[in-house]
């Protein structure tokens, strides 16, 4: 509880009717992020190919967008929210991650999950196997990434993927942390406990259910011989910025309660704020009090 709470900024890469069908991240890159990212610890970008209300809604590609922003904003941790493992070959994912880690000065965290959006997989010609198989693929992907980040001539043979002396120079001097986005109690959360450095999830409106899932993850970590407390808990919070002192105080109380439940990295999805005034309010009236500043 003594460590400072981290705050992440989730920048929407979608364009919708509320943004005149222009990707929100493009507005934020010019008008919001130069201010916000002076105070936030991390920047997060979602991984999809087109919008949800309509396939014609713009949606910026995740790797390209995050790499662009990495160059624009050189002082924050960079993470996807989260990559769909089936969209990219595991060795290519490892190579891209290593490259961005080197280019960014060790600011990249691999945020990844098993993938869930079946229509998108089918539209782009990707196989969409049952959940157990997608998670098995994800597990092999993580093994491949860590080998390619740490070995000169890595090889791996699994049920789903293999590499043969798949060098990925220059290898990063700091191995990227792996953040797994998962919520399933049978397969996903046990995998988090075995393999993840960070677990990303959301309350989904049910704190009691989330606590059960947290404990499943920690039990799996113990069974794997890991310290459960070593897995950082990241929570995505989708909520509008406060507009007055009362809303700010409620925000503080809510986040402090979640901190008591061991969440320590809040990924804030504020939607489409049009000015930096509420951002500064959040920094001064929520973030600073939480961290005792």
pLDDT bin (cut points 50, 70, 90) of residue 136 is: very high
- Give the other-Cβ count within 10 Å of 35's Cβ: 15
H or E segment to which residue 62 belongs: helix 62-72
Angle between helices 188-195 and 207-223 (to 10 degrees): 50
Calculate what percentage of the chain has a pLDDT beyond 70. 99
Dihedral over Cα of 64, 66, 72, 74: its sign: negative
H or E segment to which residue 193 belongs: helix 188-195
Q: How far apart are CA 245 and CA 226, in angstroms?
A: 42
Q: Which 3 state secondary structure label does DSSP give 280?
A: helix
pLDDT tens digits, residue range 12-34?
999 999 999 999 999 999 999 99
Its pTM stands at 0.97
Q: How far apart are CA 220 and CA 224, in angstroms?
A: 6
**What pLDDT was estimated at residue 1?**
46
Q: C-alpha angle with apex 35: 101 to 110, nearest 5 degrees?
A: 25
**What pLDDT was estimated at residue 147?**
98
**What pLDDT was estimated at residue 2?**
55
pLDDT tens digits, residue range 174-207?
999 999 999 999 999 999 999 999 999 999 889 9
**What pLDDT was estimated at residue 293?**
83
Domains of the chain in sequence order: 6-290 (3.20.20.30)
First to last CA, the chain: 16
Q: How far apart are CA 194 and CA 210, in angstroms?
A: 19
Q: How far apart are CA 88 and CA 85, in angstroms?
A: 6
């Amino acid at each position: 509880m003594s460590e400072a709470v981290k705050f992440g900024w989730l920048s929407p890469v979608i364009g919708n009717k509320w943004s005149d069908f222009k990707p929100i991240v493009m507005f934020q890159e010019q008008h919001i992020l130069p201010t916000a990212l002076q105070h936030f610890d991390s920047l997060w970008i979602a991984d999809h190919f087109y919008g949800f209300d309509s396939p014609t809604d713009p949606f910026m590609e995740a790797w390209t967008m995050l790499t662009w922003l990495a160059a624009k904003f050189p002082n924050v941790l960079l993470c996807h929210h989260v990559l769909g493992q089936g969209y990219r070959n595991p060795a290519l994912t490892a190579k891209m991650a290593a490259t961005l880690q080197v280019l960014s000065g060790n600011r990249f965290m691999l945020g990844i999950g098993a993938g869930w959006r079946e229509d998108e997989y089918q539209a782009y010609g990707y196989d969409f196997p049952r959940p157990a198989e997608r998670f098995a693929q994800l597990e092999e992907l993580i093994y491949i990434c860590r080998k390619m980040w740490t070995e000169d001539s890595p090889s791996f043979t699994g049920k789903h993927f293999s590499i043969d002396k798949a060098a990925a120079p220059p290898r990063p001097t700091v191995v990227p942390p792996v953040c797994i986005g998962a919520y399933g109690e049978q397969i996903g959360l046990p995998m988090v406990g075995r393999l993840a450095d960070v677990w990303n999830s959301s309350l989904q409106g049910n704190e009691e259910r989330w606590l059960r899932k947290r404990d499943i993850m920690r039990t799996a970590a113990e069974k794997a011989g890991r310290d459960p407390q070593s897995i950082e808990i990241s929570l995505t919070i989708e909520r509008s910025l406060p507009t007055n002192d009362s809303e700010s105080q409620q925000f503080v109380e809510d986040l402090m309660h979640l901190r008591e439940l061991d969440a320590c990295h809040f990924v804030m999805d504020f939607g489409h704020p049009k000015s930096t005034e509420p951002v500064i309010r959040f920094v001064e009236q929520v973030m600073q009090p939480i961290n005792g500043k």
